[in-house]
């Protein structure tokens, strides 16, 4: 029994999802004639109370498309210093948008309204024009941490007052919604654009959805084409997305419970240093003493348990659709025996 905890991107479509894909109605989406893509986009827009949505091949593309729409070359984007848009998208903000980043040190990946307010450049010809704030919820490098809703509202107020756009990298937003009890509609009201990954814990093979106003999505659709992301019979993939939004959201709670169980087992071991607060499906912990992070990963690999060293002293485990309770039970037993 292989236990795959390196990432929630390893999920494979369930038989029921494959069935939905197999029966998808399709057409040419560049002509806007793919009924399944149209249905997914309409459904996602409605879910967030937004006017429109755009289906993108990856979360990286939907973030980069959004940043391109919200900025002009020479502008500055405010985000947290470990944000995916900044450290994991190949320098895309510079490459695609010709914009630069003001990266702020956060609390487990989260920044505050005061930090944002303090980071906005004055109207001075020496300074880059601050035009966009990007938040990430949950925060990947923050160990799956969730934003406090009131802080997001304060950041919205700062953005409105200062005339800045507010984008959410919500790759794992549904994990945050399930954990905190906020609704997609509330998020839709506050953010100008939101990108949500369908290919993480929601279990789709590929795909992301980008929501916003009709004007925003009209511009985003053009940029998606320029980036090479205009797909033809994408409905086979979109059908997986429709299925996931219907069936794979509430079950994320199980992944969170599994992550908590794993963290509890780790806490009892002398090789475990500090563990980031486990709020959703990600466990990031320090390894010291008897093992290095790499050695611990190797030890677990011998038992067909796969996790990842994300720094010389840190290991990450991610729970998801393809990690069931008996796998978690086995992992807990193996950890206890180490």
Among 140, 193, 261, 319, binds ligand PLP (CB under 6 A): 140
Site string for ligand PLP, 270-289 (x = CB under 6 A): --------------------
Residue 67 near ligand PLP by CB under 6 A: no
Minimum distance from residue 271 beta carbon to ligand PLP (Å) = 27
Q: Which residues of 205-224 are buried (b: 16+ CB within 10 A; e: fewer)?
A: bbbbbbbbeeebbebbbebb
Residue 80 near ligand PLP by CB under 6 A: no
Q: Indicate the Cα dihedral angle 210, 212, 214, 215, nearest 10°.
A: -100
Minimum distance from residue 70 beta carbon to ligand PLP (Å) = 16
User: Could you give the C-alpha distances from 94 to 24, 82, 185, in angstroms and in order?
Assistant: 38, 16, 31
Residue 199 near ligand PLP by CB under 6 A: yes
Where does this chain touch ligand PLP (CB under 6 A) — which range of 55-63, 176-184, 239-247, 283-291?
55-63
Residue 319 near ligand PLP by CB under 6 A: no
Residue 60 near ligand PLP by CB under 6 A: yes
Residue 203 near ligand PLP by CB under 6 A: no
Instruction: Specify the residue, 63 or 261, whose C-beta has the smaller distance to ligand PLP.
Output: 63
Q: Which residue is nearest to ligand PLP (CB)?
A: 59
Among 173, 196, 197, 276, binds ligand PLP (CB under 6 A): 197
Residue 130 near ligand PLP by CB under 6 A: no
Residue 110 near ligand PLP by CB under 6 A: no
Site string for ligand PLP, 230-269 (x = CB under 6 A): ----------------------------------------
Among 14, 49, 51, 58, binds ligand PLP (CB under 6 A): 58
| Contact residues: ligand PLP, CB under 6 A | 58-60, 63, 84, 136, 140, 169, 171, 197, 199-200, 208
């Amino acid at each position: 029994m292989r236990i795959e905890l390196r990432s929630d991107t390893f999920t494979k479509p369930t038989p029921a999802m494959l069935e939905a894909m197999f029966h998808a109605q399709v057409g040419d989406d560049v002509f806007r004639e793919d009924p399944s893509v149209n249905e997914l986009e309409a459904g996602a827009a409605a879910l967030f109370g937004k006017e429109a949505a755009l289906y993108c091949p990856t979360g990286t593309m939907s973030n980069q498309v959004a940043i391109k729409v919200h900025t002009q070359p020479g502008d500055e984007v405010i985000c947290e210093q470990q944000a995916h848009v900044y450290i994991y998208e190949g320098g895309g903000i510079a490459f695609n948008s010709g914009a630069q980043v003001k990266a702020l040190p956060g609390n487990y990946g989260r920044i505050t309204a005061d930090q944002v307010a303090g980071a906005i450049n004055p109207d001075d010809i020496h300074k880059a024009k601050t035009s966009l704030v990007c938040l990430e919820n949950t925060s990947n490098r923050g160990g799956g941490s969730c934003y406090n809703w009131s802080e997001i509202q304060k950041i919205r107020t700062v953005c409105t007052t200062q005339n800045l756009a507010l984008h959410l990298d919500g790759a794992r937003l549904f994990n945050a919604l399930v954990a905190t009890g906020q609704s997609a509609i509330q998020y839709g009201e506050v953010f100008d654009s939101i990108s949500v990954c369908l290919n993480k814990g929601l279990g789709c093979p590929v795909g992301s959805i980008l929501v916003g106003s009709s004007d925003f999505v009209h511009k985003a659709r053009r940029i998606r084409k320029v980036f090479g992301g205009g797909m033809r019979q994408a409905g086979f993939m979109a059908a997986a997305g429709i299925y996931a939004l219907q069936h794979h959201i509430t079950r994320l709670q199980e992944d969170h419970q599994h992550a908590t169980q794993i963290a509890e087992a780790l806490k009892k071991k002398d090789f475990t240093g500090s563990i980031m607060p486990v709020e959703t499906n990600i466990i990031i912990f320090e390894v010291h003493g008897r093992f290095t992070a790499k050695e611990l990963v190797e030890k677990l690999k011998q038992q067909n348990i796969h996790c990842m060293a994300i720094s010389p002293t840190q290991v990450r485990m991610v729970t998801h659709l393809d990690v069931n309770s008996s796998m978690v039970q086995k992992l807990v037993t193996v950890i206890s025996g180490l």
